[in-house]
Structure formats: structure tokens, C-alpha cells
Amino acid sequence: MADEKMQLPKDAFEPLQATEQLNSERIAAPSLTFLQDAWRRLKKNKAAVISLWVLVVIIILAVGSIWFSPRNPNAQNAAYANLPPKIGGGFWGFDGKANIAGAVVDAYKQAGVPKGTYYILGTDYLGRDLLSRILFGTRISLLVAFVATFFDLVIGVAYGMISGWYGGRVDTIMQRVLEVISSVPNLVVVILMIVVFKPGIFSISMAIAITGWITMARLIRAQTLKMKDQEFILAARTLGESTRKIALKHLLPNLSSTIIIQLMFTIPTAIFFEAFLSFIGIGISAPNASLGTLLNDGYKTFRFLPYQMWYPAAVLSIIMIAFNLLADGLRDAFDPRTRG
Amino acid sequence: MWKQVKKIGLVAAAGVMVVPLAGGVSTAKAASLAKNQTFKMMVPTELTSMDNSKTTDLYAATIQNNTGEGLYRLTSKNKAVPALAKSVVKSTNNGLQYTFHLRHSKWSNGTPVTAQDFVYSWQRTVTPKTSSQYAFLFEGIKNAAAIADGKKQPSELGVKAIDDYTLQVTMEKPVPYFDLLMANPTFFPQNKKVVEKYGSEYGTTSAKQVYNGPFKLTKWNGTNLKWTLVKNKDYWDKRKVKLNKIQYQTVKDPSTALNLYQSGDLDDVTLSSEMAKQSANNKDKVIRKMASTFYLEYNQKKIPAFKNKKIRQAISLTINRQKLAKDVLSDGSTAAKGYVPEGLANDPKNGKDFSAEAQGAAEKAAVAYNMKKAKKLWAEGKKEVGIKKLNVELMGDDKDSSKKILEYMQNSMEKLPGLKVTNQNLPFKTRLSRSVDGKFDMVMTAWNGDFGDPITFMDLLTSTNSYNNGKWRNASYDKNVSASKNANAANPDARWQNLLDAENTLMTEQGVAPVYQQNEFHLVNSKVKGIVYHQTGASYDYKTTYIAK
Amino acid sequence: MRKYILKRVLYMLLTLFLIATITFFLMKLLPGTPYQNQDKMSASQIHMMNVQYGLNKPVWQQYLIYIFGMVHGNLGISFQFSSQPVSYLIATRIGPSLQLGIQAMIVGSILGILLGAIAAIRKNTWADTLATLLAILGMSIPNFVFAVLLQYILGFKLKLFPIALWDNFSSSILPTIALAMMPLAETARFMRTEMIDVLNSDYIMLARAKGLTQAGVVWHHALRNSLIPVITLAGPLAVNLMTGSMVVENIFSIPGIGEQFVKSITTNDYPTIMGVTMVYSLMLVVVILIVDILYGIIDPRIRLSGSEVNA
């Protein structure tokens, strides 16, 4: 009978405690944001963690040397030029002995260096402390890299997002422009910057930045293209969010993994490119140093004063290896396919 | 001329040579010659042109000197000896006319070298259409300047072929270094037929020209890094030529050069400063002296403080030139004693070197190192100008040696309280164009003498010269330089005194601060004998060079 | 397919045209003249020289002349080499650079693929670590350091190869090794990632389930499939080789184009800078085009319609 009411006993239902209701839905593991999750997974990758720490230490040392440099990196003492490395009383590899014309001599004695004065990594052609110069050079190299990276971030990400988001004709034109820019050899750009601005850290960073954002823009565009048709963006659109807000609040966080990984590759590329510029003689102006200029000075006397090449090369390699391993680690950490 | 663009200077002073050259090879008996007469030579840059009307660099001039021949050749002491001319002739008509009698000789294509070939070559160089950058060397020969200016026809040049083997040169005014010019490749003859056959391609590859010198150029395609000079069978004096081959190789990296030298792949290499420093004890070391001065220019137009003499003096006194040359450069370069380099020219009266003669107490003090005095002058200068601090940029080339010098000088200068110096190392041509445009505060610049007379240096710093980049102006200096060129042109002694006075003014006023005189550091295989070297100009003559056993 | 290629070629020409335009006007902004000694030249001589180089005309005319000349293979006359056309300079200098580039590319990618494949197959073993480390080291040491070490140890000390100079094939060995380090490292890393992906994919599982041996799986399926994405590396690698070759050519005294490019930059030889830029750009766009087309041919999942494929 349709009219007949179903009779239920009054005690058939029991009100629940407010808290209990939530608890039953709770996931045992703590909830993690995307970044937290990635961080957790990155920590499992030993090589990446070690690299991260190595980089932190190098950055601290390089920046710290502004205040706590072993010696003034620009203080010259021509009488103490080209002294080999020496620590304390001297031991293997750091004994202050040099091989001059087939005979091993105590370079410190020859130069008349007083007892107790020693240079851990030796000195360069103007008698400047190589260790201090390397710290100084590392700082400049990192600075160049970070400035370049910053522009990479700003220009590359914005360009890629706009191109991908608007699509159609805008995209086509922007892609053509990209193609043209990427086909101009970066050396030409560098030369232009040096001529237009003063040669130095700024123009070199700018030149690297101008030519460096292309890859970033391409990657971001591809990701944006993929994402803009996904549900969460559609939802945001349907709810009437402004384009700017969608870009900043929804798109950007989801692009963060791509961006971070790419940045980790941009930094070493920039350091490397600066070293190349030093080689062809248009790097940082003296007496400023970068790892590139130190290496460039060092390789020329490699046969006589090998330490002047080896130490900057070692620092450069360590930085490069660390950034690369960290980037690999981050890529694995962010990659949903490797989620475990 | 500017360093790096150096060509053909004619230096009257003593050249440097490897072996005492009493006839060179004639003393080398056949028995002492090695079987393989091949000399392997390194040059730091490519050969850019073999057209002697157009070349602008020292290396090309050197090769032309060995593949061509003019009226004279120079001994290692820069004395002219007859080459195509049968004898060294004296001028007639008060130094206004020369008549040369030529010997019979052949081009490598078999045609004879005649007086017309000289006339053709000279007219071609002076014609504006050829746009030779060294046509100015012809100044003094009748109508040369007017032709270069487009005001007269090339045929009006003061050179005439009386017959096939008699050449007559008419001058506008006497040129004291005329004999030296005649040994300069710019004045070598050209075979008209060949030049016209190849047109603008003349001298762009080894096949597109002919030779009349001790050697012929081969295997040069115009852009490659190596080429070979082979003995010229048609050379009139081929008996004296001992080398069969000179293999040239461009090597730009100094450590590669050293490796190649030590493994025997090269017999003569030029080393840059750091490599040179490390090879200072090498027994094969040879220092080639050059006639070039590196000096500091202060931009008085841009930085008003540089108008103050004491400020300029103070900066100059901070530089320890001895130490800079010995410890920093270490490539055989020497501290500058004045603006005109040592060994460029000699007093016509007593034969004394200009630089030595100009060395009075005031000049010595101007290039001395005296930090105490520098600080005192600096303090006074600052007060006079009314400044407490001065921030300036120091510009220079981007070569290694140049970078080092700038670093060293910056460090020295900054010992003056309140002076902050920022270094700028630029590619050569960029540096040059900024210098000329006045876009600098201080610039380290260099000049190579074009010929053996102080005027080649002095001219640059007159008020109106476009290469006076610092815009230093001094009426007495201008007056002396002008008098030496005009009023006293025919009076060697008075002219010489004008030049000495100008140098004195320059040094005491510190219009520029000379820093060092550049030399080249070479390693030369000790078996190679009889290289004739001239301090500037077509530096090397290999006509009498040989390889000993 | 034909329509796609046609469209790409058109775009390519447009790109090249734009590059030519941009570099032309940029170069016009820079100081620099063909004269080395203008102070000593008469006004009339300078005028003649300007006429010779076409510098006396208004810039827009110079531009038209340049573009017109370029289409006909005329890139102007070099400032440093008097009377030498830039096109001749490039033609005589490009050979050694191409040879070195190709040799380095072959050596680098073959060794890189091997190294990457081994690392992937022996994932997480010492072999993997070693290969990865080697690859990263190859990317971490500037090639001029490599070049100097190779020259000193293999050339000077052990006398196995010529120290420098450009005489015969053996003189190309050391520079090739120095140049190959970068492509080797890049290919190895890329290959490893791709191979691991492929080895974990369903069809490899299937192949294994069917009883194929490890060698069979790797050879017949994994290697081939992981190679496809590696091809995309060709573009960026070609660019790297260009910059790399400048350094290596300089150290080994090789008459290549890269070394000349650096020289033209430091001597403000603008016609040469422009000419070489155009050649580099041309090579770059052609390589990218070829890679895209190859990619479409090899990988059946990609169908080239009229639309563009982004590598």
C-alpha cells in the first residue's frame, strides 16, 4: 500500500559522536602535500641527499668567504708567485716542493717565505692565495648561475605558460620566435651584451639568461598544453576563476616539479658556459675570478704548475656532479611513475 | 701603429740577430750543413693577405720579405745592402732624386723583373682605389699624398722607368730613412700581368701571385693554418739560399706550442708570459726585442680630475715597472724608460739612442716607483681638485698578458687612499673603438713604431691627432712636434732637439704614463743558424738561414 | 607527410630569414670597420674602402644587398682577410669541423648508448654506479681540460698520437675523443633512463614471459625501442659540438670554422660573424628538421599530420 507508512522503532537509529564520524574516514598516514611527498622520496636517494649537503656546504663556504676568507683573494705578493700547496710542516702533496727543470726544490725556501707561512692550495702568478681565489671564484660562478637561473625562471616559465595556455595563433607565433632565438648562437648574444653593457658579471649573466630560458619555455609550454584540458583546470574555469588566478594558483604549483628539475640543469649549464667564455677570453674581468677564469689560467701552466688547474677543476666537477645527481634525484622524486 | 696590427716598421737601430752575420752562410761550409734543410716555424696567427699593397700585419710582411725582393735588403744592423738594385745609391739634387740601376732577375713565372714592375706596384699602392692602409709610407715621394687624396692621377707619382732596368724616384722633400723604405715589402715590385689577371683575388692564395724572392709560397689556400716556403729556383742569388723549405704552422695555444717544440715538431715558437716564465732557464731561449711601448692614457675629457698633473703623476708613481716587467710579464719585456722606446732611432749628430739621450733626471723620476711621493702628490692633487674619492675604470686588451698587467696595476694604484679602480678587459678591436670614441677612464694602450724615427710615436699625442685618446693638450709639445715636421724638416739637428724637447714635456707633464717596452720570448732550435732579425718591420730574413748538423 | 615536410621547410626558411635580419641589424649596432689604420689613410682612401665593402650606402640598402647576396651564396668580404669572400672562408674551413663533429657524434653516441644500456641492464649494481659516474664526469669537466690532458699524456708523454696539427686521420683522434666526451655523457644518461622505462614496460614483460632470453629481450626489443627518444638528443648535441669544437680546434691547431668564429668575434670581423652565424643556424634548423622527420618515421606512435611535432 502506498499510503501505508513504514513503521520503524524509535531506537533503530542512534546519533553518532561528531568526532567518530571523521575518524573512520581518516587515512592512517599523515597527509602530505606534493612537495612534502617528493621530499620524503628524495631523502631515500642517498646520492641526491649527499649532493644536496655537498652543495649546501659549498654555498656556505663560498658565501662565508666574504667575511671569513683565509686570505684576501686579491692581495698580491709578486715575490710569492706560483708557490705550490703546503700545509703546516708539509706532507705528501702539500710539501711546498716544486719540480723546476727536472730538480725538486723547496719553492718556499727559494722565495724566502718565512717559516709558519704557508698556502694550503698554493699561490697564483701574482702570489695570491689560491684557496681564497677558488672560494671567491666559486662565489662568482654561483652568482652568475643564480642570476641566469632567475631569469630562466621568470622569462622561461611565463613565456611557456602564455604560449601553452593561449594556444592557436599566439602559440604559433611565440614558437617561431623561440625557434629564431634558439638558432642564434649564444656567443653572438654574449658579444652583443659585452658591447652594449660593460663587460663583467652582469652582462655575462644576462647573456646566459637571454639564451638559457629556451628549454624551460619549451618544457613549460608542453606541460601547460597537457594540463589545460585536465579536469582541475576545467573545474576552475567553470567556477569562473580569472586566468591569472588559474595560472598562479593551479597551473604553477603543478608545474613546480618540471621547473625545479630544469633549474637544477640550468645552474650547471650556466657555470659551464661561463667557463667556456673565460676560455675564449671574454669571461669575467680581472681581478674578479670565476671557476672558469681560474681554470683557464690553470690549464695554460698545467705542465709546470698542475695544482693551479687541478683544484679549480676539482671544485667545478664536484659542483657539476652534485647538481646533476640532485637533479636526477629530484626527477625521480617528482615522477609519479616512480612513486613507491 | 697599433699593437697587433703591426706592420713594417723601419727601425734604424741595431737589430737583434742570432748569429753574427759576417756574410751569414758563406761562413757555413757545406760540410756543416744538415742533410734536411727544413725549418719549422710557428706563427700565432693566420696569413691574411699576400698582396703587398694591402697587408697590414707583421707576419705577412715577414713572408713577403722572404718571397719577394725589392731594391735593397737589410742586414741585421739595419744597413741597406743591394738586392735588385746593383748598388746602394746616393741621392742627387739635394736628396730629391734617386736613380737605381737594376740587375737582371726573373719572376717565378719566367718573365723578367723590370723597372716598370716597380712603377706599377707603387702607383697601385698609392691609388685610393686600392685602399692600401700603408700608402702613407710613400709620403715624401713626389705627389704621393695628393694621389692618395684623389687630387692627382697615379701616373703623376714621382717614380719613372727610364728603361727596363733604370728606375728614377723624385722626392717632394728629403726623407732621411729612404734607404730603409726601399727594403720594405710595401715597396717591392709587382708583376702587372699577374695582378691584372687575378684582379681582386690577387694575393689571396699562393697560386694567385708570382715571386721574385729567395723562396716561393706554396700550400696556402688563403685561410688555412699552414703553408710552406720552398726555395725559389728562379731567384737571382739562389746560391746563397740554403734552406729547402720553411714550414709555417699557426699555433694559437701556447701550451700546444711548447709541447710541439719539445717534441721536435717545431724549431721556433713564441711563448706567452706564463709559459715564458716557466721556460726562463731554457737554453734555447731567445728574446726578440721590439720597438713598441705600452702606455697608460688618462681620459681628461671624461674624468676632470685627470686634468690635474699631480693626480696623473701620483698614479704613474705607484707602478713598479721593473717588477711588472720582470715578475709579472717575465717574457723579456723591459720597464719603459720613456715614451719613445729604446733602440728606435739614433741622434744624427752623435749616434746616441733617442731614449737614452732623453733620459734626464726629470724623465727618470717620471717613470720611477715611489709610493711615498705618490701618496703625497695624490693628497695634494685631491685637495687642488676638491675631491675625496675617485672611482675609475682601467681598460685594456683581453690577452692574458694584458689581463695580468691590469690586475697588477689596479692593485698598485689602489694603494692610493680613496682611489678605486675597476678593470675592463676587452677584445682588441672593441678596446680600440672605445678608446677612439673616448668611452674610457684610463686605458692601457700600445704603439709599434712604423719607421725608425721618433716622430712615428710623437705624432700620436698632438692635440689634434685622433689617436690622442686621452685628449691631453700641451701647446709646447704641439709646437715642437710641428716644428720638427715643417720648419726644421731639413735641419736634422734642430729637428732632433725639437723631438727631445717634446719627449721631455710629455714625460714631465705626464701626458701619458709609459709602462713597458714589449719583447717577444722565443725558443729556437740551436741548430738553426743565420736568422736575420730586425726590431720592427719585416722582422725576419731567412735568405741566409741554414740548419747545422 | 610531404605536406608536413613542405610546411616545415617553409618555416625553416622564414626562421633563417629572420635570423639573417636580426643579426644584420645587431651587427650594424656594433663598432667595427675593415680598416686597421684609419688615422693614416686619406679621406679618399677610406671612401674607396667603404665603397669596396659597400659601407657607403644607407643601411636599408646594405641590408637588401646582404639578403640578396646571401640567397646567391655571397656573404660579403671578410674584414680580417683582405679580399677574401666570407663564403670562401667558410667553405675552406668547414671541412675539419664537420669531420670532427661527425666523428665525435658517432663515437660519443655509440659509446654512450653502450654505457647507458649496461647501466640500465645492471641497474643499481656497481656497473651502473660506475657508468653513471663516468657519464656525469664527462659532463662536469670542461673540454679544454680534457683536451690539454689528452694532448699531454697521450700525445706528448706516450707519443701515441700527434700532439696537434691537422695532417691525417691520426691527428683527428685526440680532438675527436675530447669532443666526444659531451655527447657520450649525455647519451649515456638519456639512454639509461629510457632503457629502464622500456625494460619495465608490458611488452618486455610479455617477451620475457614468452621465454625470450635476457640477451634476446635486450637486443631485439629494449635497445631498439629506447633508441628512438635518444635521437631527439641529436639537435642539442649538434649545438654543443659547435661550441665545443671552437675550444678543441684552438688547442689542437685545427683549421676549422669554430676557431675562426672566435677569431672573427675578437677582431670585430662582422661579415664573418654574420656568415658563420648563418651557417650554424642553417645546420641547426636542418638537424632539428631531420630529427623530427626521422622521429616520425621510426616511431609508429607518432603520426605527422600538418601539425608540428615538438621534440
Residues of C in contact with A295 (CB under 8 A): 142, 144-145
Q: What pLDDT does residue A103 have?
A: 67
**For residue A5, what pLDDT band results from cuts at 50, 70 and 90?**
low
Contact C83 B256 (CB under 8 A): no
Mutate to test the interface with B, among A285, A293, A294, A304 (most CBs of B within 10 A): A285
Q: Is residue B367 part of a domain?
A: yes
Which residue of chain C is at minimal alpha-carbon distance from A325? C136
Which residue of chain A is at minimal alpha-carbon distance from B415? A75
Q: Measure CB to CB from residue B278 to each of A76, A287, A301 and give the nearest one.
A: A301
Radius of gyration from C-alpha coordinates of chain B: 24
Same domain, A210 and A242: yes
Q: Is residue B181 part of a domain?
A: yes
Same domain, B79 and B123: yes
State phi, psi for B422 to the nearest 5 degrees: -115, 135
Cβ atoms of B189 and B112 within 8 Å: the answer is: no
In the predicted model, is pLDDT for residue A23 greater than 70? no
Q: Is residue B423 part of a domain?
A: yes
pTM for the whole structure:
0.83
Interface A–B counts its CB contacts (< 8 A) at 72
Structural domain of residue B280, as residue ranges?
Answer: 257-286
**How many folded domains does chain A comprise?**
2
**How many folded domains does chain B comprise?**
3
Q: Is residue A45 part of a domain?
A: no
Contact B327 A79 (CB under 8 A): yes
Same domain, B479 and B393: yes
Q: Is residue B6 part of a domain?
A: no
Sign of CA dihedral B274, B278, B280, B283: negative
**For residue A4, what pLDDT band results from cuts at 50, 70 and 90?**
low
Q: Is residue B3 part of a domain?
A: no
Same domain, A131 and A272: yes
Interface B–C counts its CB contacts (< 8 A) at 151
Q: What pLDDT does residue B40 have?
A: 92
Cβ atoms of B243 and B34 within 8 Å: the answer is: no
As beta bridge partners, residue B285 has B523
Same domain, B408 and B499: yes
Cell of C9: 621547410
Q: What pLDDT does residue A244 have?
A: 82
Which CA distances in Å does C21 have to C7, C62, C76, C88, C279? 21, 11, 15, 22, 14
Same domain, A73 and A90: no
Dihedral through CA B204, CA B210, CA B216, CA B221, nearest 10? 20
- State how far the Cα of B354 lies from the Cα of C79, in Å rounded to an integer: 37
- State how far the Cα of B57 lies from the Cα of B46, in Å rounded to an integer: 10
Q: Measure CB to CB from residue A286 to each of B277, B278, B407 and give the nearest one.
A: B407
Q: What pLDDT does residue C39 have?
A: 58
Residues 6 or more apart from A22 whose CB is under 8 A from it? Answer: none
Contact A183 C285 (CB under 8 A): yes
Mutate to test the interface with C, among A183, A216, A295 (most CBs of C within 10 A): A183
What is the DSSP code string of B333-382? -EE-SSSSPTTS-B-TTT--BHHHHT--HHHHHHT---HHHHHHHHHHHH
Same domain, A144 and A112: no
Q: How many residues in total does chain A contain?
A: 340
C163 touches chain B (CB under 8 A): yes
Kindly list the domain boundaries of chain C, sorted by start residue. 96-255
Same domain, B81 and B35: yes
Q: For A91-134, what is each residue's pLDDT tens digit?
A: 666 777 776 656 677 777 777 777 777 787 888 888 888 888 99
Amino acid at A339: R
- State how far the Cα of C201 lies from the Cα of C221, in Å rounded to an integer: 11
Contact A188 C22 (CB under 8 A): no
As beta bridge partners, residue C97 has none
Same domain, A193 and A286: yes
pLDDT top residue among A335 and B513: B513
Amino acid at B87: S
What is the DSSP code string of A179-225? HHHHHS-HHHHHHHHHHHS-TTHHHHHHHHHHHHHHHHHHHHHHHHH
Q: How many residues in total does chain B contain?
A: 549
- State how far the Cα of B45 lies from the Cα of A245, in Å rounded to an integer: 59
Q: How many residues in total does chain C contain?
A: 311
Same domain, A95 and A63: no
- CB within 8 Å of chain C, chain B residues 42-101: 46, 48-49, 51, 54-57
Average pLDDT, chain A: 79
What CATH number is attached to the domain comprising A70?
1.10.3720.10
Q: b/e per residue, A32-71, with b = 16+ CB within 10 A? A: eeeeeebeebbeebebbeebbebbeebeebbeebeeebeb
Does C142 sit behind a cis peptide bond, omega within 30 degrees of 0 on the bond before it? Answer: no
Q: For B62-76, what is each residue's pLDDT tens digit?
A: 899 999 999 998 887
Same domain, A114 and A172: no
Beta strand pairing status for B540-541 and B442-448?
unpaired
Which CA distances in Å does C9 have to C2, C295, C308? 10, 16, 12
Q: Is residue A32 part of a domain?
A: no
Which residue of chain C is at minimal alpha-carbon distance from A182? C281
Same domain, A154 and A211: yes
Which residue of chain B is at minimal alpha-carbon distance from C153? B259
Same domain, A89 and A236: no
Same domain, A75 and A89: no
Which CA distances in Å does A311 have to A71, A273, B177? 17, 19, 55
Q: Is residue B5 part of a domain?
A: no
DSSP state of C24: H
**Sequential pLDDT tens for chain B (549 residues):** 444 444 434 333 333 334 444 344 444 455 588 888 999 999 888 888 888 888 777 788 889 999 999 999 888 777 788 999 999 988 888 778 999 999 999 999 999 999 999 999 999 998 888 878 778 788 889 998 888 888 889 999 999 999 999 999 999 887 777 888 888 888 999 999 999 999 888 988 999 999 999 999 999 988 888 999 999 998 988 888 999 999 999 898 888 888 899 888 999 998 887 788 878 888 888 888 888 899 999 998 888 889 888 999 999 999 999 888 888 888 888 999 889 988 887 887 887 888 888 888 888 888 889 899 999 999 999 999 888 889 998 988 877 788 888 888 998 899 899 899 988 887 777 787 788 778 889 999 888 877 777 888 888 888 877 778 888 888 999 999 888 877 777 777 888 899 999 999 998 888 899 999 988 889 999 889 888 888 766 788 898 899 988
Which residue of chain B is at minimal alpha-carbon distance from A79? B327
Distance from CA of B138 to the nearest CA of C (A): 11
- State how far the Cα of B319 lies from the Cα of B377, in Å rounded to an integer: 14
Mean pLDDT of A153-164: 88
**Three-state DSSP class for residue B198:** helix
Q: For C25-39, what is each residue's pLDDT tens digit?
A: 877 776 666 665 555
What is the DSSP code string of C38-62? GGGS-HHHHHHHHHHHTTTS-HHHH
Same domain, B242 and B358: no
Radius of gyration from C-alpha coordinates of chain C: 24
Cell of C175: 680532438
Contact B129 C48 (CB under 8 A): yes
Q: Is residue A51 part of a domain?
A: no
As beta bridge partners, residue B245 has B38, B230
Mean pLDDT of A285-302: 82
Neighbours of A256 (CB within 10 A): 15
Q: b/e per residue, C96-105, with b = 16+ CB within 10 A? A: bbebbbebbb
Same domain, B188 and B334: no
Architecture of the CATH domain C96-255:
Orthogonal Bundle (1.10)
**CB-count burial class (<10 Å; 0-12, 13-18, 19+) for B129:** middle
Percent of chain C with pLDDT over 90: 0
Same domain, B101 and B226: yes
Cβ atoms of A257 and C228 within 8 Å: the answer is: no
Same domain, B338 and B387: yes
Query: What ipTM does the predicted assembly reach?
Result: 0.82
Contact C284 A183 (CB under 8 A): yes
Structural domain of residue A106, as residue ranges?
Answer: 84-118
- State how far the Cα of B232 lies from the Cα of B241, in Å rounded to an integer: 9
Same domain, A75 and A215: yes
Q: What pLDDT does residue B22 have?
A: 39
**CB-count burial class (<10 Å; 0-12, 13-18, 19+) for C159:** exposed
Cβ atoms of C44 and B154 within 8 Å: the answer is: no
Low-confidence ranges of chain C (pLDDT < 50): 303-311
Which CA distances in Å does C118 have to A6, A81, B202, C122? 73, 48, 58, 6
Residues of C in contact with B259 (CB under 8 A): 151-152, 155-156, 163-164
Contact C26 A321 (CB under 8 A): no
What CATH number is attached to the domain comprising B161?
3.90.76.10
Same domain, A112 and A145: no
Q: Measure CB to CB from residue A325 to each of C136, C246, C285 and give the nearest one.
A: C136
